[in-house]
Amino acid sequence: MSDTAALGFGLGLATTNSNGEIIEVYYPQPEIYPARSLTDAVMSVCGLKTGSNYCVELNSELQQQLVQALRECDQAATADLLERLAAGPQLVIICLLDCDSPPASVAEAYLKLHLLSHRLAKPNSLNLEGLFGVLVNIAWTNQGAIDLIDLPGRQLEARLQYLSLEIMSVDKFPRMTSYVVPTGVRIAHTARVRLGAYLGEGTTIMHEGFVNFNAGTEGPAMIEGRISAGVMVGANSDLGGGCSTMGTLSGGGRELISVGRNCLIGANAGIGFPLADGCIIEAGLYVTAGTKVRLLDANGELQKTVKAKELGGQKNLLYRRNSLSGAVECMPLKTTSQLNQDLHSHN
């Protein structure tokens, strides 16, 4: 182990396919920057070397040895969790991230997604390069995760027993709420928030809202639109119905799109550039980084015409489309958008 703390640690319950391969992992209590005593105990019992990330499948002997080692180094809570997991029939694993390298296994990928949704790491703070290639496309059913190679047999088995095997989705990402429900949030349609989303306290996701992995809200926030991968929405901001934010995956570039604090993106509007604090995008207006914008002063007089990306750092602006000329304009705002505080107290 390096002199600095390990990045992440998780005791998990893993699901395997008919070939014995891990296809998904549930980590009930993931840790970021775990105590050195915990990682030393794991490394010693499992015989691991320094400088790498590991996924270890725990047999009964290793489980017993690790429980004893954890209790000896004052990690009783982790020992208790391991004993509880080991009492069930599922495969118990340990995932230890010594460095923030691209995920090389399903176990590593799921641990990083858990760290995000548990609010232990912010979007864009973890290396998720190559994540799609690591994850397995899975049928998410009322009987749990099923690998597509096993699905026909499981469907037949269910029918023969007069059971219902409902397939909610076929995707590489599960819904976040199947793994963690953060405190202080409301989610009207849970299938529209993927594992790996970061939802800050006081966030409301309405029925048409969507939050991708490695994206989210600082909270509080009202989300009735789409938050794409890589996008972070600042506190007290409102994304109107049908609006969208252009993520790095959809845009093809590497510039991170963000929404500042106290912003409003109107219904069916959208952005493709970082939006500063206190800004409003008129309903129906999609402003990309290259959109030519007429910059007006407080009296409506034209100052200059610039690309929208050049305004990304300027606060308290209203972006609108001139109803006569069709030109995109922006001008200073005297007041900023405010959320209804009663709607975001989720006690």
User: Among all residues, which ones are annotated catalytic?
Assistant: 224
The H or E element containing residue 114 is: helix 106-117
Residue at 166: amino acid letter: E
Residue 204: both structure tokens together: 């409301």
d(CA 344, CA 70): 40
Helix (H, G, I), strand (E, B) or coil at 153: helix
Strand, coil or helix: 31: strand
248 and 255 Cβ atoms separated by less than 8 Å: yes
CA dihedral 152, 158, 162, 163 (to 10 degrees): -120
- 341-to-196, 222, 235, 237, 329 alpha-carbon distances in Å: 26, 11, 12, 12, 31
| CA distance linking residue 159 with residue 4, whole number of Å | 53
